[in-house]
Structure 1
Amino acid sequence: MSANILYVDDEPHNLSAFMATFRRMYKVFTAESAEEGKKILETEDIQVIISDQRMPKTTGVEFLASILAVHPDPIRMILTGYTDIDAVIDAINKGEVYRYIQKPWILEDLKINIDKAIEIYNLRKENKELTEKLLIANKQLEFIARQSLLS
């Protein structure tokens, strides 16, 4: 179940630990800031984005909310060492966050959440493709019906 994962965190040791832990399971991209994360999103097909909440300049929720219009498809998660109910609510409402995970993360829990996020991403993509095929088929049927009525 290989997928492209983007992890954004301002602490380099967190990025290193994440990369060391998950690099054999997924293709992992890391960024030390929201700006770096946005640059990676411009060039890579990312399925899951995990962002630290408390970063200088831009919070994780602000970062995830800022990319929604251009990158609506990746499944988004917040990883944080702080429990802030307002941040949780913002994450859900503004950043459309799938999961809010506490640091330090537990390997099995985080892996399960990433795998579920990948599954949701794939199901949404498949649903979108099937919907597009259905719309095309519907247009073709309408055209055939009109042709039958005209002849």
Structure 2
Amino acid sequence: MSKDKITVLYVDDEHNNLMSFKATFRLKYNVLIALSGDEAMEILKQKHVDVIITDQRMPNMTGVQFLEKVLETTPDPMRILLTGYADMGAVVDAVNKGKIFHYLAKPWNEEELTQSIERAYEVYKEKKEIVEMNSKLAVSNDQLEFLVRQSLLS
């Protein structure tokens, strides 16, 4: 992990869960918290986020619905779904619609959640590096095409 902290957004409608998560992970990560999907969307408009963790069962917007909304506006952060219910339908929806990276059951285990966040961040960095390399390759390709054209004209 680099010296910059991973920014994690945790979304849960239970205030106690948010405070517990923040108290547990605030030293390891830059922790942002939201009580609802709508509040989390506002945070995403204002702050850079590397990993999003959301509870599935929330009023007004489920975790899957929130993650679908995130994909429309901010598709880069890695997404992790937490739920206290053995709802396979929610898991399938999360994978298919919310494009989650990982699914964990509540109550979460600190070590397991840390490992999931770290793995998610590694994948996030790899995706960013691939985009950067592709961009550099496109520039190099354009320069090479220009040189070939110049060579053909002379």
> What TM-score do the two structures reach when normalised by structure 2?
0.97
Where does the alignment leave 5 or more consecutive residues of structure 1 unmatched? Answer: none
Q: Which amino acid aligns with 1:90?
A: D
CA-CA distance at 1:69 after TM superposition: 2.0
> 1:117 maps to what in 2?
120
What secondary structure does 1:56 align onto? coil
How many angstroms apart in 2 are the aligned matches of 1:142 and 1:72? 32
**Residue 98 of structure 1 pairs with residue 101 of structure 2:** yes
**Residue 107 of structure 1 pairs with residue 105 of structure 2:** no
> What TM-score do the two structures reach when normalised by structure 1?
0.99
Query: What does 1:1-80 correspond to in 2, within 5 Å?
Result: 1=1, 2-80=5-83
2:139 to 133, 136, 140: 136
How many angstroms apart in 1 are the aligned matches of 2:48 and 2:63? 20
Residue identity over aligned pairs, in percent, reads: 51
CA-CA distance at 1:118 after TM superposition: 0.6
Aligned pairs, how many?
Answer: 151
How many angstroms apart in 2 are the aligned matches of 1:111 and 1:67? 22
1:148 to 135, 140, 151: 151
CA RMSD of aligned residues (A): 0.6
How many angstroms apart in 1 are the aligned matches of 2:70 and 2:119? 21
CA displacement 1:97-117 (0-9 Å, x = unmatched): 011100011110000000000
Q: Which amino acid aligns with 1:19?
A: K
CA-CA distance at 1:76 after TM superposition: 0.3
How many angstroms apart in 1 are the aligned matches of 2:37 and 2:75? 16
**Residue 126 of structure 1 pairs with residue 112 of structure 2:** no
CA-CA distance at 1:27 after TM superposition: 0.1
How many angstroms apart in 2 are the aligned matches of 1:126 and 1:37? 26
CA-CA distance at 1:70 after TM superposition: 1.4
